[in-house]
Amino acid sequence: MRSLPSLVIEPLVRAALLEDLGRAGDVTTDSIFDADDVSTVQLVVRDPGVVAGVDCALLAWRLVDPSITVSVAKPDGSRVVPGDVIATITGHTRGLLTGERVALNFLGHLSGVATGTARIADAIAHTSAHVADTRKTIPGLRALQKHAVRCGGGQNHRFGLDDAVLIKDNHIAAAGSVSEAVRRVRENIGHLVKVEVEVDNLEQLRELVTLPVDAVLLDNMGPDLLRQAVAIVDGRLITEASGRITPEAAVPIAEAGVDLISVGWLTHSAKVLDIGLDFVS
């Protein structure tokens, strides 16, 4: 799994450390341990899942103590079970404890995103559909969360408002019709920009397949309606299903023949993967 550039993650990790250190630093740890005390710790998995965010965790410690040494056993994208050691870190005890919470916050959350993604990816693996994320990300963490989705076997939807067109229901309502919204978009975008349109009924879809668009977002449709929609599209557009999709609901939706299933909770409501920091010496 390709890592994110340090240039992307460093400002986020640094900001988290500054928030935690406050105005006086770690008064608890600094009061208990001498500056030259050295320890070895391990990141140990408590629940089964998929790892993501290892680089963020290690950077948290490196920013506090650049002299740490690290051995990574389970890099991003690894499947893990309880008891697995993700990494072993040796460094000054003060730095290890000061950076602990920030490191675990990033690692636990991003691994939770990857694990949730993997649950759906595994459930629909027998189909041709793929699970994708959305823009429903925690502000400031989009690049990290979308990386975690890739670690879990998912695909990324657009990263922001500027890299693709997605005409949604309110755009259509304000423009007056699907056709008018698409016409205005095509007059104002470059030839490399993809266009997707959200529809919530088959009448809109029948209109859409006659227009110059690349993909359709089939919103809040059940499996039976999705099968009809896929038949209407007949391979002319990329089909994407969305709307409160659980791992269990994803299976019949994928079996309806859509190309993508986009899931907002992967990023906005992911359950943290339980990972602990254990002292070895």
Helix (H/G/I), strand (E/B), else coil: 133: coil
Q: Is 184 among the residues known to form the active site?
A: no
Residues 57 and 169 placed together within one structural domain of the fold: no
Distance CA 16, CA 14 (A): 5
198 carries an active-site annotation: yes
- Is 219 marked active-site? yes
Whether the per-residue pLDDT at 25 is higher than 80: the answer is: yes
Helix ranges (DSSP H) in the chain: 6-21, 27-32, 54-64, 93-98, 100-123, 142-151, 169-175, 178-186, 202-208, 223-233, 247-255, 265-268
| Residues contacting 222, CB < 8 A, separation 6+ | none
The mean per-residue pLDDT over the stretch 266-274 comes to 96
Pairing of the two strands 38-45 and 85-92:
antiparallel
Same domain, 130 and 251: yes
Helix (H, G, I), strand (E, B) or coil at 278: strand
Residues 252 and 153 in one domain: yes
Model pLDDT, residue 133: 98
Selecting among 14, 168, 186, 194, the annotated active-site residue is: 168
Tens digits of per-residue pLDDT, 78-120?
Answer: 999 999 999 999 999 999 999 999 999 999 999 999 999 999 9
CA-to-CA distance for 194 and 196, rounded, in angstroms?
Answer: 7
76 and 167 in one domain? no
- Cα–Cα distances in angstroms (integers) from residue 14 to residues 2, 59, 62, 82, in the given order: 22, 9, 10, 30
Is 101 an active-site residue? Answer: yes
Q: Are residues 12 and 102 in the same domain?
A: yes
* 3-class secondary structure, 86: strand
Task: Please tell me the predicted confidence (pLDDT) of residue 281.
Answer: 76
Sign of the dihedral through C-alpha 169, 131, 263, 243: positive
How many domains, in total, are found in the chain?
A: 2
Q: What is the CATH number of the domain that holds 150?
A: 3.20.20.70
| Active-site pick, 10, 207, 219, 274 | 219
Q: What percent of the chain has pLDDT over 90?
A: 96
213-224, pLDDT tens digit by residue? 999 999 999 999
* Residue 86 resides in a domain: yes
Candidates 79, 101, 186, 194; catalytic one:
101
Q: What is the pLDDT of residue 174?
A: 96
Same domain, yes or no, for 68 and 103? yes
| Same structural domain, 41 and 147 | no
What is the average pLDDT score of the chain? Answer: 97
The active-site residue out of 26, 198, 240, 259 is 198
The number of beta carbons lying within 10 Å of the beta carbon of residue 184 is: 13
Spell out the SS3 assignment of 214-263: CEEEEECCCHHHHHHHHHHHCCCCEEEEECCCCHHHHHHHHHCCCCEEEC
CA dist., res. 114 & res. 147, Å (int): 9
Q: Is the pLDDT of residue 280 over 80?
A: yes
pLDDT band at 2 (very low <50, low <70, confident <90, very high): confident
Please say if the pLDDT value at position 1 is more than 90. no
Residue 235 lies in a domain: yes
Cα–Cα dist 152/110, whole Å: 10
Whether residue 54 sits in one domain with residue 140: no
Q: Which of 46, 79, 135, 136 is catalytic?
A: 136
State mean pLDDT over 107-136: 98
The verdict on residue 103 lying in a domain is yes
Structural domain includes residue 264: yes
Q: Is 194 a catalytic residue?
A: no
User: What is the model's pLDDT at position 269?
Assistant: 95
* The pair of three-digit structure tokens given for residue 142, joined into one six-digit string: 């989009």
At 244 the pLDDT is 87
Q: Which domain holds residue 179?
A: 119-268
Determine if the pTM surpasses 0.85: yes
Task: Indicate whether 1 belongs to any domain.
Answer: no
pLDDT, one tens digit per residue, over 153-208 is 999 999 999 999 999 999 999 999 999 999 999 999 999 999 999 999 999 999 99
